[in-house]
Amino acid sequence: MTLRNRHPNHRLPRRLPPARQEGMALIFVLIMVSIVFVIAAVSSRIVTLGERAARNDRDRQTAFQAAEAALSDAEMDIMGPNPGGTSAGTNRVAIFGTLPADLGACSSETATRGYCGPLQSGDYKAIFAVESGSRQYANFGEFTDREDQFPISTTGALPAKLPRYIIEKSAINYRNRAETAGKPFDAFVVTAIGYGLQPSTQVVLQAVISKPVPTN
């Protein structure tokens, strides 16, 4: 029986332990990417909201300025000098001096359109909503001959509609009150509505205008 001698340097290969999976770096990268993505999304949302808020504010400011212009136009309508405008045909300023006692709700007649008796707060919305020829409000410039001074447009950066107003005769008679003796006046409540770039953007303003009554 012959024995084989093993080579003195011959060794069986050793089995190495499996390499450990180092995954912490990958997890860290994923977390950082997620954080960056969230920050970008939030920043984009903030910018979008900021732009929308700026547009809405500009739209409301346009409507506010239009309502103020309507108040100014109504004051000129009441106080004069009043050229009558293209729709009135007569010197309309005279009707505010007579204060007709039989004036009920707002008038839709050409000469007295927009001139009203005392109204309830709920009446304004219905009055301003009418777009037909039977409207009871006055448009800007209708009786002051200033229509061309207020351009409008359904597109662009101009108001969508002309501002409107109504003039109410005050329920209080200031002509016969003791505190106004010697200086009588008539009081009118003007309610004006202005529109922004969108017709749905509306601002309503009110003002009280006193008009001295001639004593002679």
The phi and psi torsions of 204 (rounded to 5 degrees) equal -110, 130
For β-strands 115-116 and 138-139, DSSP reports them as: unpaired
Q: Does residue 111 form part of some domain?
A: yes
Q: Determine the average pLDDT of the residues in 163-177.
A: 77
Q: Does residue 22 form part of some domain?
A: no
Q: Does residue 5 form part of some domain?
A: no
Q: Determine the average pLDDT of the residues in 150-170.
A: 86
- Measured CA to CA, the distance from residue 70 to residue 192 in angstroms comes to 6
Asked if residues 62 and 196 have their Cβ atoms less than 8 Å apart, the reply is yes
Q: Does residue 30 form part of some domain?
A: no
Summarised one tens digit per residue, pLDDT across range 174-185 is 666 555 566 777
Q: In which domain, by residue range, is 113 found? A: 45-212
- DSSP alpha helices (H): ranges in the chain? 24-79, 85-88, 95-98, 123-129
The residue ranking higher by pLDDT, 113 or 178, is 113
Note the pLDDT of residue 88.
46
Summarised one tens digit per residue, pLDDT across range 29-82 is 888 888 888 888 888 888 877 777 778 888 999 999 999 999 999 998 888 766
Q: What is the pTM of this model?
A: 0.69
pLDDT > 90 in the chain, percent: 17
Q: Could you tell me which residues come within 8 angstroms of residue 150 by beta carbon, excluding any fewer than 6 positions away?
A: 66, 69, 140, 141, 159, 162, 163
Q: Does residue 12 form part of some domain?
A: no
The residue ranking higher by pLDDT, 205 or 93, is 205
Summarised one tens digit per residue, pLDDT across range 40-54 is 888 888 887 777 777
| pLDDT of 98 higher than 70 | no
Q: Does residue 3 form part of some domain?
A: no
Q: Determine the average pLDDT of the residues in 130-143.
A: 83
Total domains in the fold of the chain:
1
